[in-house]
Structure 1
Amino acid sequence: MAEILPLKAWRYSHFLDHKIEALTSPLFDVVSAKQREALYQNPYNSIHLSVPRGTQPANEAAELLQQWKEKGIIAQDPLPGIYVYYQYFKLPGEQKEYCRKGFICHIKAYDWSERVLLRHENTIPSAVNDRIDLLAKTELNSSATHGLYTDPEFILEQYMDESIKSPIYETEDYQGVRDVLAVIHDHDVMQQFMDVLSEKQVLLADGHHRYEGSLEYRKRMTAQNPSHTGYEAYNYHLMYLTNTEADDLRILPTHRVLQQIDISDEEFLKRLEAYFTITPKEDPVELNEVIVGKQWAFGLYLSGNAYKLRLKPEVHHLIDWDVPQEVKDLDLTVMHYFIFQRVLGIDPELQRNYSRLSYERNFTACIRQVDTGASRLALITNDVSMDQVKRVCYSGAIMPQKSTFFYPKVICGFLFSSIKEDEFITAPAACL
């Protein structure tokens, strides 16, 4: 199944007169414009490699990367390793501290048809093209995507727990999460990691655009190389792997916000009545609470008025998309089919790049956007369970875009992964 390799990571030099907190950054698809501008003020922050500026950002990132290498801003670790990464966090309203345990390594960029690495979401084409260009010019993975493997016996956790006692970095990030990084160099232990994953499929939790960028780059380079072996550096991708069986794996909901609709509020509600039971609510603050645990239930905040929506069970069979039952049963499938397609008349393919639609994880921000007039309506949804993610992945289907938000997000800047041939370990035997 999944082939993984240790890596010789590039990391910030300990001679650099900056604390690691000043060098890390959020992932490219979650960093806000305001955060970006603040981070750009530090000339050595990792944002310059992950979300470069300029008229030709990929070229500028490649030039900057070369300068950093030549000046010793970043240096390559002399030994290959498996990098252990723990994230300690709390959820709003809870006192319990969670710890998501995982490790960072290289993994082969498998084509979806190989059924080794399984996706659960659609991607947005423009974002994929951006990632391919950046990877091609820099030959660097500036951040790890997030993958999931299933190991009910927790074979690897004992080694990770031991390693994390001697951290390389320990810091608090922009999410308020405590991030801890350590490394395993022991050959026998690294072989254990490789052996365990060799029997597993991997579910892609987060980073679909970055992974698809690596996959397309691999295809491009393979076509250009008549001596392709499968072990060239371009075959591999940087991934953070966590165990689906852990209690501390959390998925948060991603709500939908529409800036405009071309019909009146009255007409919109009238069309919804054909498919949903609509219950007015006095206070929009209740919307994320009244739907908890209820299948096919949504909160609607429309022009300052709050409603609970619940699909009429007898209409569910009308979903005629060519997808497995596991996908038809998802809340977000119901939302995208009945509200976006049936009620608003937005074709499924158009929904992927619909300019009036945005995605918002913060419930309060959804309400604020409508109250300020920045948006016409917000649709509040429940989270997706890990069991649902597994069922959809194993069915071979995918969810609507932006279905899941695995929390917390990994951060960028702890380490970088090169896919330059002379900086890469090109075969499993070379690691050990």
Structure 2
Amino acid sequence: MDPSAVVTPPYVAGPFALAPFRALMMAPRLVGDPSSARAFARPYGAVPERLDRWRVRGQLSRDDTPALYLHEYTAGGITVRGLVGVLDVSRRAAAPAERAIFPHEGIHPAQADELADRMTQMALNPAPILLVHRGRSETREILRDVRAEAPLREFTDRAGQQHRLWAVRDDERQALLAEQLAGTRALIADGHHRYSAYLRLQRRAPSTATGGGLAMLVDQDDTPLFLGAIHRLLVGSRYDDVRAAAEHVGLRFQELSPVAAVDALAPDTLVVTDSARWAALHVPVRPGRLAIEVLHEDLVPALARGPHRIGHHHSAEDVLAHAGPETGTAVLVPAPAVDHVLRIVAADRLLPQKATSFQPKPSTGVLIRSLRDV
């Protein structure tokens, strides 16, 4: 197989289940500190011993009783809450109706292999993958009762994120949550390659430890994640190349002033610029298709030159700073709606890689799962 190939990760079958675990938790002063990444650095086989030393020094703690955890974090004025546990990945879906977890982009097998190898050596899931779903009111009521109690931890980390954490240990409450969540169909918001690594670990050596992977489930109707765009830089493709390709595939290319072009950005309109010239690229999209799909499936293949690579930028300012007549052409992309993404994955389709940016993501170190502690 071509190591650069992108493939669809397998689908996990329901019922959806999050199991309790004994969390490892970094000391609040270390959460959000870039230097804390050294805990998970090479050599990966030394990570368990390294974390044991951190525990002795008071830099890491271990919860003695397995629990599900309700994690609330606030960043940039956005508050997100998610239920964290060990996602059951032991069953594969044989038919679409059985699917419980929905990826929305493909993965590179070699990268998933590398992550699986790394987790094996570290004997850890260092951080939860991020899942979103449309939750039930009954589930929200249970979690409201949890939040009425005193949090297990409450702190502001080094990156400025505010955190509150509750442990759900009560057997009856865990059983109610399991019943409520069994029919969940969740979208992977962040962590496609880690999700795929979980599946590879389970296939390699099925066990209690590898039958699941750490995940956070966010109710998009309760505390919605912000869904932003990821803009493109067509490196090596000129402005005139993009205009010619647009005309070739029947898209309207309208040259405008910079302000008018940016104002035209819409679900059916992209913005094209090399920093010297600007245009609105009108992309009539049929129902169930996004403008970014037209860009990748129709426009890019029709280019007469390049791109040598496609750069991905989370802000318009960043991609515009890299655009130029001799470097590449920037394409500003509209942000998709969550429901539109959900409809696409329900129709058994994937989006181009890095088509979405769910924000904010929690800082690493709040909740870690040891694969040896099961």
TM-score category (smaller protein): 0.7 to 0.9
Match of 2:293 in 1: 333
Q: Distance in 2 between matches of 1:10 and 1:343?
A: 50
Q: Distance in 2 between matches of 1:355 and 1:132?
A: 30
Counterparts of 1:21 and 1:339, CA distance in 2:
48
Find the aligned partners of 1:106 and 1:59 in 2 and give their Cα distance: 22
- Give per-residue Cα distances to partners, 1:143-178, cap 9 Å, x unaligned: 11111232242523552464376330321564x543
Aligned counterpart, 1:381: 333
Cα distance in 2 for residues equivalent to 1:377 and 1:310: 17
Quick one: which amino acid aligns to residue 250 of structure 1?
F
Q: 1:270 and 2:244 equivalent? A: yes
Which aligned pairs between 1:3-402 and structure 2 lie closer than 5 A?
3-12=17-26, 20-24=28-32, 39-40=34-35, 45=36, 47-50=37-40, 52=41, 54=42, 57-69=43-55, 73-90=59-76, 97-109=77-89, 110-111=91-92, 113=94, 115-160=99-144, 162-163=146-147, 166-167=150-151, 168-171=153-156, 174=159, 177-222=161-206, 232-246=208-222, 248-261=224-237, 264-274=238-248, 275-283=250-258, 287-292=261-266, 294-295=267-268, 297-311=269-283, 313=284, 326=288, 329-343=289-303, 356-370=309-323, 375-402=327-354
Are the structure 2 counterparts of residues 254 and 164 from structure 1 closer, same or farther at C-alpha, using a change threshold of 3 Å? farther
For residues 300 and 414 of structure 1, the distance between their equivalents in structure 2, rounded to whole angstroms, comes to 40
Q: Is the 8 A contact 1:251 1:407 kept in 2?
A: yes
The 2-side partners of 1:72 and 1:21 are apart by 11
More helix by share: 1
Q: Counterparts of 1:389 and 1:404 in 2: how far apart (Å)? A: 9
Whether contact under 8 Å (2:115, 2:197) holds in the other structure is yes
Counterpart selection for 1:419 from 365, 371, 374: 371
CA gap of 1:382–1:102, structure 2 versus 1, over 3 A, is same
CA distance in 2, matches of 1:394, 1:127: 25
Please tell me whether the aligned partners of residues 113 and 200 of structure 2 are also in contact (alpha carbons under 8 angstroms): no
Shift, 1:23, TM fit: 3.2
How big is each residue's C-alpha offset from its partner over 1:326-377, in whole Å with a ceiling of 9 and x where there is no partner? 3xx122211101222222588xxxxxxx86222111111111112596x411
C-alpha separation in 1, matches of 2:30 and 2:265: 40
Q: Which amino acid aligns with 2:246?
A: L
Matched AA of 2:38 = H
Q: 1:21 to 1:336 in 2, by over 3 A?
A: farther
> Tell me, what secondary structure is at the counterpart of 1:215?
helix
Q: Which residue of 2 aligns with 1:320?
A: none
> What CA distance in whole angstroms lies between the structure 2 residues aligned with 1:49 and 1:238?
18
Partner residue in 1 for 2:3: none
Aligned Cα RMSD in Å? 2.8
- In structure 1, runs of 5+ residues without a counterpart are 14-19, 26-38, 91-96, 223-227, 318-324, 347-353, 425-432
Runs of 4 or more, structure 1, over 4 Å off, are 69-72, 285-288
**In 2: Cα distance, 1:355 partner to 1:21 partner:** 43
Letter in 2 for 1:2: F
On the 8 A contact 1:236/1:419 being kept in 2, the answer is no
Amino acid in structure 1 at the alignment position of 2:282: R
Q: Distance in 2 between matches of 1:8 and 1:185?
A: 11
Note if contact 1:142-1:417 (Cα within 8 Å) is conserved in structure 2: yes
The 8 Å contact of residues 298 and 309 in structure 1, kept in 2 or not, is answered as yes
> Normalized against structure 2, the TM-score is what?
0.84
How far the C-alpha of 1:188 sits from its partner, in A, is 1.9
Equivalences, count:
354
Tell me the equivalent position of 1:428: none
Cα distance in structure 2, aligned partners of 1:154 and 1:403: 32
Q: Secondary structure at the match of 2:82?
A: strand
**Cα–Cα, structure 1 residues 236 and 148, in superposed 2: closer, same or farther, change >3 Å?**
same
- Write the distance in 2 (CA, Å) between the matches of 1:372 and 1:270: 15
Q: In 2, Cα distance between the equivalents of 1:3 and 1:158? A: 16
Inter-partner Cα distance in structure 2 for 1:136 and 1:240: 21
